[in-house]
Structures are given as C-alpha cells and as structure tokens.
Amino acid sequence: MDRGNQPLPRTPSMRLDGRRALVTGAGRGLGRACAAALAEAGAHVTLVARTLDQIQALARAIRQAGGSADAVKLDVTDLEAVARMVEAAELFDILVNNAGTNRPAPLIEVTATDFDAVSDINVRAVFFITQAVARRLIAAGRGGSIINMSSQMGHVGAPNRSVYCTTKHAVEGMTKAMAVELGRHSIRVNAICPTFILTPMTAPFFDNQAFRAAALEKIKLGRLGKLEDIMGAVVFLASDASALMTGSALMLDGGWTAE
C-alpha cells in the first residue's frame, strides 16, 4: 500500500455558519467581544443584557458589518424569565455564559448582601441558563457547545477577592461536572479563564500604578489582556476545531497561574 497517496487530513473549520449563539452580558467588554467574534465566524448571535440600548446598538453594528444578531433585554438572575426566553427562542447551538460581577472587599468586611449578589450572577444564573439550553438541545437530539467565562481567579486566590474567587472556583467545578453529564449528548462544556483584560470598565483600576504594577508582575507575558485575546478562544471553543475538548479550562492568563 502506497501511504504516500493517502489524502492529507483537513483542519476542522472554525466557521459557525448556520449555528445560533446566545451570549449573556453582551452589552460591553468581554461579552461584546465574544458576540462580535461569533458573528464574524458566521453564527447568528442573540445578545442578552439588562441594558437594552447597549445590545441594540451592538446588534446594529453586527448587522452593518454583515453579520446576524438580535437583542433581548433579560436579567439572568430572573430564572423564570430566563426559562421563558430560552423556550421561546430558536434552538441555541452555542451558549456563552459571560454575565458576571465582582464586589472586591477584604474578607472580614464582606456582607451577606454582597456575597449573594455576586453568587447569584456568577454561579446560580450560569447554572440555570445552562440547564435551560441543555434541556432543549437534549430534547432535540442536538449537540452543542457551552462556554463559561471563568477567570484565572478560578484557579488561584487573591486579596480582596474572596467572594469572586469562591464563585469562579465554583464555575470551574460546575464546568467539569456538566461536561461529564452532558458528554453523552454531544454537548461540550468548557471554561475560558482570562487574566486582567483592559476594557473601558477596568481601565480606571489600572490608573492606579501600584495595582497595575502588581498585576503585570504576575503576568509573565508582561502585558494586560486585550479583548482580541478572548475572541479567538471563544470561536475555537464554539467550533468543530475543539470537537474533542470538554470539561477543560482554557487559560488566557499570560502565565499568571504557571507558577
């Protein structure tokens, strides 16, 4: 047998044409970047956030760039509203659980109100919107890709971030458990774990030169993350290029957790 005549293997496509994606917290920052990346790759993107004008503007921008998008005002902590929206929508092949929050404070000053507020968005909402999307995929006999926006703080600890670290460690465990349970349905579940990303929302924090220097000392590549650093990763996890990847954490931390 002449093995030299065998056809070369072909790289799986990172195109998402014909697929539908749901992105939570899509109005700004990481969510906006994820939505733009998925739309550029060919997916129809449903943008979800509490502030309607932001996601409507993003939907228009995506359509003007030749993509496909619609906007839905939704509070992801309202579980009944989440269930109604997912049930009424066309089937989502891709879910990006990006909505999240943080209320930094020293451990001894954390209030129950702050703990519950961060946990409700970062953990409870992620769990139940995933449940709603997975139920529909299973009922339809369809596979899919669920992408949880975690953090490097899901793998380490940090001062003034006891609650945030708690929730992101929970997301990491949730990702693995969901991957184990949903794998037989061809539904993949993975997490993206960014370091500090420079966005309009985080920029004021880095005006504090001491904070900036401390962060850069931990990031081995010597720079803060950019939105573009997230965009390729979310398309990879949503696409057939990552078809054998589930229950994993994709570290985009510039080497923060390498030591």
In a domain, residue 91? The reply is yes
The pLDDT tens digits for 209-250 are 999 999 999 999 999 999 999 999 999 999 999 999 999 999
For 122, the domain range is 15-251
75-110 core/surface letters (b: 16 or more CB in 10 A; e: else): ebbebeebeebbeeeeebbbbbbbbbebeebeeeeb
In a domain, residue 21? The reply is yes
Residues in the chain, how many? 259
Residue 1 has pLDDT above 60, yes or no: no
The pLDDT tens digits for 109-122 are 999 999 999 999 99
The pLDDT tens digits for 55-87 are 999 999 999 999 999 999 999 999 999 999 999
Starting at the earlier edge strand, list the strands of the sheet with 20-24. 68-73, 44-49, 20-24, 94-97, 144-149, 187-194, 249-252
In a domain, residue 259? The reply is no
Residue 4 has pLDDT above 70, yes or no: no
Using the Cα atoms of residue 53, residue 55, residue 58 and residue 62 in order, give the sign of their dihedral.
Answer: negative
Catalytic residue, candidates 73, 164, 176, 220: 164
The pLDDT tens digits for 151-199 are 999 999 999 999 999 999 999 999 999 999 999 999 999 999 999 999 8
Domain count of the fold of the chain:
1
Catalytic residue, candidates 73, 168, 220, 226: 168
In a domain, residue 4? The reply is no
In a domain, residue 3? The reply is no
126 CB-contact burial (10 Å; exposed 0-12 / middle 13-18 / buried 19+): buried
In a domain, residue 235? The reply is yes
168 is catalytic: yes
In a domain, residue 93? The reply is yes
Supply the CATH number for residue 240's domain: 3.40.50.720
